[in-house]
Structure 1
Amino acid sequence: MAAYVLPRRYVMPPKDAQCVICHEALAGKTDLARLRCDHFFCFECLSGEAKAFFADSASRPTGARGEQMVLFRCPTCRQDNCCVIERIQKPSGSSLSAAPVADELGGPLREVAVRHSDGTAATWLASYYYATALEDDSLGQSYADCLMTAHHGLFFSRHGLITGRRELAAKWAAVIIGAERGAKVEENMEAFKWFGPAEQDRAILRLHLARMAVCQGHVRKLTKGKDDNTESGSVGVGDDVWLCGVVRRPEINGLEGRVKEVLPPHTQLNKSDVTRYRVSLSVCATQELSLRGDNVLRIPRAARDPLSHLVASLTGMHIN
């Protein structure tokens, strides 16, 4: 079976189509969700459906859940491989500058073409959520009770980030294998941008990163700032890093790289007001990017050693 490719063009539901959850007409709605089975819903309705689904899953005994309780199902056709929710929103004005604010869990907004049932065309904005991100406690508020649970939350989110980056790199390899002979790096990057399995990995990484930030906040609060144990730290030449929050190049988010050069502000190679970093991508060493500091997260050396990473996370040791 061919891998799922995210749509760059959407054909909107017919004029008489309804959201099967609220039974309101979808025509005229400006915030919609679509699943890979091509069924549309109000985004808020599908969010509520996902919350109820995962709450029901969590309430069942582990042995009784079964695989069907793990994969979110389409409310219309019951297809159970709908892990990524495509959210498409209409800009609030005639210009794309009046765009909705991007959600950290949905990632950077992308322009997509939309064709309505009356034949009119428009440009809307798409973002992508891992279904679990719509769960009420997806950001780890349950880890706020005590220091041990907060450290457990840190461990699970960090482990998820390590695993997710590894999975994403494997998706890049799959895109390269499936590419046409002689395809340019830019063409492969564009294919990677719309490769459904890769966007699922990016959505999972966004969720783990947000969870980690919440758990770090719990740790700081419970220790009154004495135990920071964060991933932060100065980035220098030779450091291994991974990329996040890049708006204009969403396909590179989640990929790892290495810092080749620090570019101070107001210099020949960096005319901006902030320090930037020249980063070489691990999956494609010929791709070097100039990135802001908030798009570059240092990978602690201990993160390369799963056992050391586990001990550091569970004991509250600072890893560097």
Structure 2
Amino acid sequence: MTFAIRAEGLVRRFGATTALAGVDLEVPTGTVFGLLGPNGAGKTTAVRVLATLLTPDEGHATVGGYDVRRDAHQVRQLIGLTGQYASVDENLTGTENLLLIGRLLGLSRRDARARAAELLAGFQLTDAAGRAAKTYSGGMRRRLDLAASLVGRPQVLFLDEPTTGLDPRSRNDLWDIVRGLVAEGVTVLLTTQYLEEADQLADEIAVVDHGRVIAQGTPEELKSKTGGQVLTVRPVEAAHLPVVLAVVREVTGATPEVNQTTVAAPVTGPGALPAVVRRLDDAEVQVAELALRGSSLDEVFLSLTGHRAEDDPADLADTADTLEGSPA
């Protein structure tokens, strides 16, 4: 197995804030590797270090075999980067944006125009190619931004929360594009706080919290770490919810979660389901839903960190990154 990205012991501080506290990563070539964590976990800082925009205070990393400190120029020739917000010039047309980047990368005018046309067609933007980017919808701008990061045909693509603010259809469109890139051999490092996005795209996931990698594995491997199964119960009558809560708590030994009238708790043994059925039958509680299912990534994250991925903890690592993260 070859690795497109390797990082060992990465540390990055912003004053009193430690954004990265010793991060180790190995990203296999030709895969999607997900960095999953809430705002402030250090995901953006990690991307900026690997993209040579920030210098680590400690540790080292390589991208495509090149050291991000010593060989920054070579690393930049291998990578593409799309951040959380579209970085295209809104006063230029779609074609002009891509032409500009092509020329900055040293392409001839003819080659830059051909590459722009190829990407606009691939991202279904040909009809809007002559319009100013400020007239594009959010999803169209996102696609143009991603197209811009691909002008130089990067081997490694950093996607830093690329679907932030997109509607579900635009998000699904972008997911399809990412899958297509990986099928062509591109390695993708994806940061996200969306559990579904990580589950849909990532071959492997590192869960990041407070600047540290606290778990790593395939989505299925991570799900198995919570105990493997979750019991869900929904009573026919909402008035019976307190009884259901008490029964599930007693049988599973866990604190149940409640979503409207559905009660859920992790289980570790096969006897939980029949035990709950007997208890609820004795209490004359009718249920509309009673099932065992596999754990979700959301439950994995909650069990690992004590909060959900979409929660914004007190840690201000990425905020400090935004304020102080000028290119190194």
Q: TM-score, normalised by structure 2?
A: 0.21
| Bigger CA radius of gyration | 2
Higher strand share: 2
Q: Which has the higher contact order (CA 8 A, sep 6+)?
A: 2
Q: TM-score, normalised by structure 1?
A: 0.22
